[in-house]
Chain A
């Protein structure tokens, strides 16, 4: 039995069907990130776990106990809100201790618990201030302190970093991750930022339009996306999606894409069984920017590198990497190369494709074309 079990949960607001049967299970100590574009239902799902929204259909189990009809305050859940929701008229100490006060914890114990959490979050010197006198990052810490002090079974975070500036956001992200590692708490975290999802999660649930698109480890979601949406949503810069055609060559399927006036042929390594049935049909192939690189940087050991000469359209140095834009299958594609690779727009250059990382999608259903699930990427994948 898993620790938090979301079993076929639906949410309807009148006629609108906001959540269409969500199934997610996580274990104790997991860091689950619900990620998706706005309106995908991730915040609604979080509010339902908190008990702030009712469940139209389905079941919510926490540590084996059905909490569908349990009052929010008795679910043993604490939540950090997007706006921090600090009580404006109370001091920081009052804010952190309020939940304990409501639970009739004696004043002395309360004080100790508040001090302990304040020390953990390094906000001891702020305890007598009002929220209005705090900076964004400090408010964020107080909001986390208010959740931590109750030592609940489950923590919920609703886009907690979205109100911070870019630099502080990265710092707080690190702190949240450290906190999770140190305390081993179970966390459900909502964000629309896929980088936050990748860096924090032990499990990612990608959602769209009230449906779960994929649930898995960050690496599995990144390397082995279930469909075009997940492939495009996760990763920055996003996965190159190239129109191609599967043809048979020497008895094995290969993918062909139009590259200017020639045709690029890429051998197929993954999902070969399934793709046998796709010969002479159009597909969309997906390749991460880092799977297309300069021949010198490519990992030749595994023998899955396929080189081709393509025109360079644009060069974008970021310092750490050099992104090179070329055109394939009628679309611009991004290749990630070593900085300092001597390339100029208009030249032709050799690109190395790591075809072992290539994934293939059905353009009609937008789903993956893949072999029956095996331990293909080395990760155990959850069925969505």
Chain B
């Protein structure tokens, strides 16, 4: 790509302007993160002096310790760590199961086509466009019937159901460009439905698996509405706990603790992005661009 760039002076000037604009936008986007991080390492006194953009004069980890282990959420003063693990307990099965089901759906919808497969795919796709709010009441009723109300497993179920639409879309589009001849060759070799899936398709699906994991992980981890609606108290996810922490009034607003807790809530998605982000675009582009 770089070989094709203009080398004239005018070209260089244009690029300088371009980079300047990009830099400005990057700063705008990164500024809240910067404020969060610096604030979380400041003492309350320093915060009250008001210089929001300054680096901490005296670095302290106390707000982080408090947020993790002793901050008060409602009446309990155990910090957010319990809720952090709630979120982990929700996000891992929800991502794995919805991803696997989506992969199966994509496999069947492209390689084992049946009468009406287009309608079925259309209906699954339709679920991507249903707003969360619409299903709150019916879902609450369903979880009640299943005795899963107020539990992390209830939230897992909700996220699996909601995730299938997207995961199916991802895998179907990926497998649509996967050659049918491979499946036929495997059939002649004597491989059955599951062997073909697990031995041939799935190992070749790394890019789309990464896309699905990032997408589902971010959605499930950052979810607030389902969490606040279907899980309360001890089984709440970290997003709900963060909200409660900020709203639990103990007199003075502990901004540094709030910021530290917010960072705790944000770190896992950041890590997932940093580790797998480069696959994300590659995976989303696959099939549309050759090479």
Contact = CB atoms under 8 A, between A and B. Distances in A.
B181 A85 contact: yes
Given A99-B189, A102-B189, A146-B189, A85 B195 contact: no
A255 interface: no
A73 B179 contact: no
Interface stretch (A75-83, A171-179, A216-224): A75-83
Nearest to A89: B203
Interface string A47-77: 0001110000000000000000000110001
A98 B182 CA distance: 12
Given A85-B179, A102-B195, A77 B186 contact: no
A73 B200 CA distance: 17
A251 interface: no
B194 to A, nearest CB: 12
Interface string A293-310: 000000000000000000
A72 B181 contact: no
A14 interface: no
A331 B236 CA distance: 87
Nearest to A75: B188
B179 A83 contact: yes
Contacts of A52: 184, 187-188
Contact of A99 (B190, B199, B203, B204): B190
B263 interface: no
B135 interface: no
B181 A102 contact: no
Interface in B173-208: 179, 181-182, 184-191, 195, 199-200, 203-204
A98 B179 contact: no
A146 B185 CA distance: 10
Contact of A73 (B181, B188, B199, B203): B188
A72 B203 contact: no
A98 B191 contact: yes
A115 to B, nearest CB: 19
A103 B190 contact: yes
Most chain A Cβ neighbours within 10 Å, of B185, B190, B200: B185
Contact of B182 (A82, A87, A102): A87
A89 B179 CA distance: 14
Contacts of B189: 73, 98-99, 102, 146
Contact of A98 (B184, B186, B203, B204): B186
Interface residues of A, number: 21
A89 B200 CA distance: 7
A378 interface: no
A88 interface: yes
Nearest to B191: A102
B192 to A, nearest CB: 8
Contacts of B199: 87, 90, 98
A103 B185 CA distance: 14
A87 B184 CA distance: 11
A108 B190 CA distance: 19
A85 B204 contact: no
A72 B204 contact: no
Contact of A50 (B186, B188, B195, B204): B188
Contacts of B204: 87-89
A85 B199 CA distance: 14
A310 B162 CA distance: 81
Contacts of B190: 73, 99, 102-103
A85 B203 contact: no
Given A73-B190, A98-B189, A102-B195, A81 B181 contact: yes
B286 to A, nearest CB: 13
A45 to B, nearest CB: 15
Contacts of A146: 185, 189
Nearest to B179: A83
Given A98-B191, A102-B195, A81 B200 contact: no
Contacts of B185: 79, 81, 85, 87, 146
Contacts of A88: 182, 203-204
Contacts of A72: 187-188
A71 to B, nearest CB: 8
A73 B185 CA distance: 10
A316 B200 CA distance: 52
Interface in A340-359: none
A125 B179 CA distance: 27
Given A79-B184, A99-B188, 19 more contacts: A50-B188, A51-B188, A72-B187, A73-B189, A81-B181, A81-B184, A83-B179, A85-B182, A87-B182, A88-B203, A88-B204, A89-B203, A89-B204, A90-B199, A98-B189, A99-B189, A99-B190, A102-B191, A103-B190
28 contacts: A52-B184, A52-B187, A72-B187, A72-B188, A73-B190, A79-B184, A83-B179, A85-B181, A85-B182, A85-B184, A85-B185, A87-B186, A87-B199, A87-B200, A87-B204, A88-B182, A88-B203, A88-B204, A89-B204, A98-B186, A98-B191, A98-B199, A99-B188, A99-B189, A102-B189, A102-B190, A103-B190, A146-B189
Interface of B: 179, 181-182, 184-191, 195, 199-200, 203-204
Of all A-B residue pairs in the complex, the 4 with the closest CB atoms, nearest first, are A89-B203, A102-B190, A73-B190, A99-B189
Interface of A: 50-52, 72-73, 77-79, 81-83, 85, 87-90, 98-99, 102-103, 146
